[in-house]
Homo-oligomer: A and B are copies of this chain.
Amino acid sequence: MTMADRITLAHGSGGRASHRLTRDLFVACFGGDILASLEDCALLTLESGRIVVSTDSFVVEPIFFPGGDIGSLAVHGTVNDLAMRGGRPLYLTVGMIIEEGFAIRELEIIVRSMKASCDRAGVAIVAGDTKVVPRGKADRIFINTTGIGVVAEGVDIAGGNGRPGDRIILSGTMADHGATILCQREGLAISGAFQSDSAPLNLLVARMLKAAPGGVRVLRDPTRGGVGTTLNELALASGVGVRIRELDLPVRDDVRGACELLGIDPLYLANEGKLLAFVAPEHGEAVLAAMRDDPLGREARIIGEAVADHAGLVVLETAVGGNRVVDMLHGEALPRIC
């Protein structure tokens, strides 16, 4: 590859330099006939007309962090949004906004990381776009990923499908991603070896759906705003109350220590490789068992139930036996967490 060391405005001009970057980096790494055709748009054939679509922009800072980078985060984030509707993710588009002067070596690392994440999740990048803005007009790199998946017949999963009695399952420990990013950013050297949990959840979801067809009613990945905010959204959408037990909420000890230092409740810190599920009570144990067979669900736990009381409210039974209402995240504590 004979490219300059740094991204220049010419790489975003649509001219010869743009073409070279597209061909030598994006097409070379992402591969695939569809992308290689270099059309402005990808032509795809889907096996089913019932699809899910999701979009997310990623502005995380720092762009490289323990457990991942902005590229893998972007792929996993969009794959997970599709999986949370019971979709089988198939295709991604990638839109990059790059600051002039960004090192092409770093761009390569990000692109390779995206490719590895796509391979792990079984999705293909089918269209892309790159814009370059002058120095100081963006912060290094922002990435938008938009995903398309197909939904099998009979699958009906939505935030509004929860019912009283549903078991609420969390697939693993809380706050790993958020704590990692904040510690990196604040330069906190905290003892412990936690890292971002960023991971694609689609295969875990496939196991869950197989274990209890029709039994999984709600899926949602508790990213920005954390488990606390997400449960509030789901309680509102389903018109149910949510009761969770503090003692059942899994948090790594080192992450809990970091949260105390940061002064932030792990309930509000982002997760990027975890899911919350509402499961019909008779299927709760079967789904839990299936999850524990998956590397990404090994620490899954039933953390509470949906209830008919206090619709729209999330109530936490505290470790000492009291009750407190868990509100949505409020205020502007946590920019650029994803």
What is the interface of chain A, defined by CB distance below 8 A to chain B?
8-10, 12-19, 37-59, 61, 81-82, 84-85, 87, 91, 93-97, 100, 126-129, 131-134, 136-139, 142, 144, 146-148, 151, 158-160, 220-221, 223-225, 229, 233, 237, 268, 270, 327-336
Contact = CB atoms under 8 A, between A and B. Distances in A.
Contacts of A331: 10, 13, 15
Contact of A133 (B127, B139, B220): B139
Given A49-B47, A142-B138, A328-B15, A38 B335 contact: no
15 contacts: A8-B332, A9-B332, A14-B329, A15-B328, A16-B327, A38-B233, A39-B84, A40-B81, A41-B54, A55-B146, A56-B129, A59-B131, A95-B144, A133-B336, A144-B146
Given A9-B332, A329-B16, A52 B59 contact: no
A127 B57 contact: no
A45 B14 CA distance: 34
Given A37-B158, A38-B237, A53-B44, A224 B13 contact: yes
Copy total for this chain: 2
A186 B100 CA distance: 20
B41 A87 contact: yes
B146 A93 contact: yes
Contacts of A18: 224-225
A151 B41 CA distance: 12
A13 B225 contact: yes
B43 A52 contact: yes
Given A15-B268, A45-B51, 12 more contacts: A12-B224, A13-B225, A13-B332, A13-B335, A15-B328, A41-B54, A42-B54, A43-B51, A43-B158, A44-B50, A44-B51, A45-B49
Residue from A37, A40, A151 whose CB has the most chain B CB atoms within 10 Å: A40
Contact of A220 (B40, B47, B57, B147): B40
